[in-house]
Amino acid sequence: MDNQDIRKAGLKVTLPRIKILELLENNTQRHVSAEDVYKMLLDNGEEIGLATVYRVLTQFEAAGLVTRHNFEGGHAVFELDRGGHHDHMVCVVCGKVEEFIDTTIEKRQREIAKEHGFEMVDHSLIIYGHCGNPKCKVGY
Amino acid sequence: MDNQDIRKAGLKVTLPRIKILELLENNTQRHVSAEDVYKMLLDNGEEIGLATVYRVLTQFEAAGLVTRHNFEGGHAVFELDRGGHHDHMVCVVCGKVEEFIDTTIEKRQREIAKEHGFEMVDHSLIIYGHCGNPKCKVGY
DNA sequence: AATGATGATGAGAATCTTTTTCATTGCAAG
DNA sequence: CTTGCAATGAAAAAGATTCTCATCATCATT
């Protein structure tokens, strides 16, 4: 019941919001920029303005439906929150993104924050490296 | 011998580069945006263009003299590389930045990368939370 | 089902950050 | 001291995101 998620967020159930949420749910690549979303909607024949895409994604983020990541490169990417939190591993050559979750690190982070007098509310961990693809290996 | 660092990077020793490196070394706040650097130079009476600041910071980054961080908010911040790697903790209210390093996490990251077939070359860990300042606490 | 208040949308303008262009200047090797 | 080539400043351009505003759609209430 996606529409309920929108409603629960205190937002009206409108066509742009439904379409954007659908796209995030069904799209193969989990990490998309606002521009990506906009273009995909266009390809699907939806007449949704870029400004609306930005607005909706920001609202979804505030509602906890999606997460915004600031990867390298100046533009943000969004990802549907499927309940489970996870971190990212990005290949510096091909850009491939893998997700992972590690309880050791998760736990340690909370401890470190506390040691510094912080109360952790969120975190961002991105590992950059060369992925398994031979073409992405060092010295190729 | 800062000028040697510039030279070693294969760059000519010019006034803008010297001034920017000096500023990064002597400035109290370690994390500065290109705009910050530009304005501080202006305040110091230096006539250095914003484009040059961007160029030089990017060159310094390539040379390993500074590190670029993509914190939330759309603009990058730069930090002088004082040899030691470290991660960041950012207060979501006042923006205060604290640095930390944790061997448990550092080690675990390498292991995780390897488990996924990645060879880690870098990483970015940012913990967001409420800092010790009472005004930044939840429910203030 | 009609109504109306309020929120949402689209288009384009505006803003902000960063990069590029290009004519001019200055470092540094000989 | 000359000279090539890199570096610079100013302004324009590009890219990402937000804002403005007139119009339109949703939804709680009739």
Rounded Cα gap, residues A75 and A66, in angstroms:
16
Report helix, strand or coil for B117. Answer: coil
Report helix, strand or coil for B69. Answer: strand
Tell if the CB–CB gap between B127 and A131 is shorter than 8 Å.
no
Average pLDDT over residues A81-106: 88
Q: Of A94 and B112, which is predicted with more confidence?
A: B112
For residue B124, the chain A residues in CB contact (below 8 A) are 124-126, 128
pLDDT of A139 > 90? The answer is: no
CB-based contact (8 Å) between B103 and chain A?
A: no
pLDDT of B139 > 70? The answer is: no
Distance from CA of B39 to the nearest CA of A (A): 21
CB B62 within 8 A of CB B69: no
Nearest residue in B to A71, CA atom: B70
The nt closest to B16 (CA vs C1′) is D8
CB-based contact (8 Å) between A100 and chain B?
A: yes
Pure H helices in B73-123: 103-115
CA distances to A89, A91, A125, B26 from A128, in Å: 6, 6, 10, 30
B136 CB and strand D closer than 7 A: no
B51 CB and strand C closer than 7 A: yes
B65-103: per-residue pLDDT in tens? 999 998 777 789 999 988 778 999 988 888 888 999 999
CB-based contact (8 Å) between A138 and chain B?
A: yes
A57 CB and strand C closer than 7 A: no
B97-122: per-residue pLDDT in tens? 899 999 999 999 999 999 999 999 88
All structural domains of chain B, each given as residue ranges with its CATH number in brackets, are 2-80 (1.10.10.10), 87-136 (3.30.1490.190)
pLDDT band at A137 (very low <50, low <70, confident <90, very high): confident
Tell if the CB–CB gap between B127 and A104 is shorter than 8 Å.
no
List all residues of chain B from 41 to 70 with a beta carbon under 8 Å from chain A. Answer: 70
B105 CB and strand D closer than 7 A: no
For residue A132, the chain B residues in CB contact (below 8 A) are 116-118
A129 CB and strand C closer than 7 A: no
Q: Give the CA radius of gyration of chain A.
A: 17
Nearest residue in A to B106, CA atom: A105
Report helix, strand or coil for A41. Answer: helix
DSSP string computed for A47-103? ---HHHHHHHHHHHHHTTSEEEE--TTS--EEEE--S---EEEEETTT--EEEE--H
What percentage of chain A exceeds 70 in pLDDT? 97
